[in-house]
Amino acid sequence: MPAPAPRSRLTKRRILWSAAAVIGLLLAWQVYDILTGKPEPKVDYATPFYELCASAQPEGENAWPLLVEVLERVAVATSQLAQNPEATQDYWYGHTTPGDFDDILYLPRSSPRLRAHKRTIEALSTDGTFDLITQAAAMPRCVRPRVGGTPFHEMHFKEVLPRFSQMRTLTRLQVARLHLAADGRKWQECRDIVDESLSIFRQWSFHPTLLDQLVAASCMEAVLAELRTIVNERSLDERSSRALLDAIDRHSDLPSVEFTMEGEQLLFLDKIQHEYTASGRLPLSSFNRYTTPATMPGTPPPPRSAKATLAGVAALVIPGRGAAERLSAEFTEDLARIAGETDQARRDEIDDYWDDRLPMHQVVLRDSIFRPSLMVGSLSSIHHSIAATRLMLGLEIFIKRHGRAPESLDDLVPDCLPEIPVDPLNGKGWGYRLRGPSASIADYDLWSFGRDGEDNNCYEGDGTVSLRHAPGTDIWINKPRHIPEGLVW
């Protein structure tokens, strides 16, 4: 008679007891960390961070106090404008703008809606705000005062995040001023506005964080984009075109990505030393913060994924502080190394490359770091905008000299431009053609081949100009101004 098969010792009760034991040990481990106390961070990352910012700029008077006063004045004026029913712009599809200065770019000069905007701009001129902008732009340096308190990285961003919004508001004001000056053909005033705006935004870019550099770049791009539109719509004389070209050249020397990533690494290290316990693991209190996806206020959070849950548990158990410090250093070095990459296929691999190297339990880094491909693309877009604007000004100089557009961009060298810049988006040249049958026609099309570097004959797909557009499309540089659909005049 065969022997009976042995009964399995793995019962449901045993599994539950084993799971409870594991959870109990984990809790005991965490309680031990709490009872033994988390020592205050021993490394002062704030001092080298602010020293880095100060050392990157020349000696001289600091524009920061004046710039803060300008930002606050403009923010107050814009807030008052937003509450004025005469300035609010309604759209057919139900969206309402807060009456900011963007409306000036689209509405005709006879529109009654512009009266409130113009009154606000006149008030800012009368109270000396524009004089403060001129003074701040002329100063050689712009360094924030050191923010006290710990954790340093949290106190720093608590202080600067509201300034980012104010900088965008200042940008919209400057773009509106530039547009109005061009309407009046006040080319000297246009040059001054461009020069002062680029000076302030360049000063801002020498604060060593990626967010600082991205905000500064987006502000510069907004001014340059409006300048390109003005060149497309107006006929500038040669002297004004050269003055604008000189203003751009004075402020195109932007900080290197290595400088920015050095500051970003100091922020990473400060965050790491505050997040991990003395044993190098995360406390239980961090579980929800790093495993629950961020949502808009008032909306229920989506269910936590199994992978996020596993990563969060692993972060509580596996010591990770030392590895996080090493990995964050590798990340900043990698991003600095690939920042100049122009090959689209290589760009597409960047995020996967980093994800593959980052252990799942490094939830602090996964939550903190920027997507590499987004950063690489954003940093190259401002250089693309500078190059494109210089090309259009060079073409404007040629047209004023010869009464016609050139047959080729090469005709701009050396009288109008010292050289034809490559497109920073792809490392290649530019698309160019005359719109008429001969060079006697001044109208032309200028376009970028986009990030994929393929010439698609100025084809833009759905017509949306984006520096992160899909492959197979180009970017039309001298495209006419786009008027938002449904604008009520």
State pLDDT tens for residues 307-323.
Answer: 888 898 888 888 899 99
Residue 95's pLDDT band (cuts 50, 70, 90) = very low
Q: What is the mean pLDDT of residues 107-122?
A: 83
Residue 74 is encoded by which pair of tokens?
A: 């403009």
pLDDT surpassing 90 at residue 461: no
Inter-helix orientation angle 187-205/238-250, to 10°:
10
What is the mean pLDDT of the segment spanning 251-277? Answer: 91
pLDDT at 37 exceeding the cut of 70: no
Between 466 and 235, name the one with better pLDDT: 235
Q: Which helix (H) or strand (E) holds 476?
A: strand 475-476
Question: 348: pLDDT confidence band, cut at 50, 70 and 90?
Answer: low
For residues 94-119, average pLDDT: 73
Q: Does the pLDDT at position 178 exceed 80?
A: yes
Burial 101-114 (b: 16+ CB within 10 A, else e): bbbbbebeeebebb
Higher pLDDT, 390 or 437: 390
Kindly report the pTM of this predicted structure: 0.87
Confidence of residue 218 (pLDDT cuts 50, 70, 90): very high
**Mean pLDDT in residue range 211-226:** 94
The mean per-residue pLDDT over the stretch 250-254 comes to: 93
For residue 241, how far is the Cα from the chain centroid? 28
Average pLDDT over residues 344-367: 80
The number of residues making up the chain comes to 489
Is 82 in contact with 65 (CB distance < 8 Å)? no
Contact 372, 350 (CB under 8 A): yes
For residue 6, what is the DSSP state?
P
Q: Tell me the C-alpha to C-alpha distance, in Å, between residue 424 and each of 212, 378, 452.
A: 21, 11, 12
Per-residue confidence at 441, pLDDT binned at 50, 70, 90? very low
Q: How confident is the model at residue 63 (pLDDT cuts 50, 70, 90)?
A: very high
Q: Would the pLDDT of 83 be above 50?
A: yes
How much is the average pLDDT of 288-293?
Answer: 82
Q: Is the pLDDT of residue 79 over 50?
A: yes
Please name the residue that has the structure tokens 């290290």. Answer: 269
What is the DSSP pairing of strand 430-434 with strand 475-476? unpaired
Which residue type occupies 78?
Answer: T
Whether 92 contacts 488, CB under 8 Å: yes
- Res. 153 pLDDT band, cuts 50 70 90: very high
| Residue 269 pLDDT exceeds 60 | yes
C-alpha separations of 261 from 84, 328, 329, 376 in Å: 43, 10, 9, 12
Residue with the bigger pLDDT between 207 and 485: it is 207
The reported pLDDT for the residue numbered 51 is: 96
* pLDDT over 80 at 412, yes or no: yes
pLDDT for res 94: 45
DSSP letter for 144, please: P
Model confidence band, residue 30 (pLDDT cutoffs 50, 70, 90):
low
Indicate whether 343 pLDDT > 80: no
pLDDT surpassing 70 at residue 76: yes
What is the pLDDT at residue 262?
93
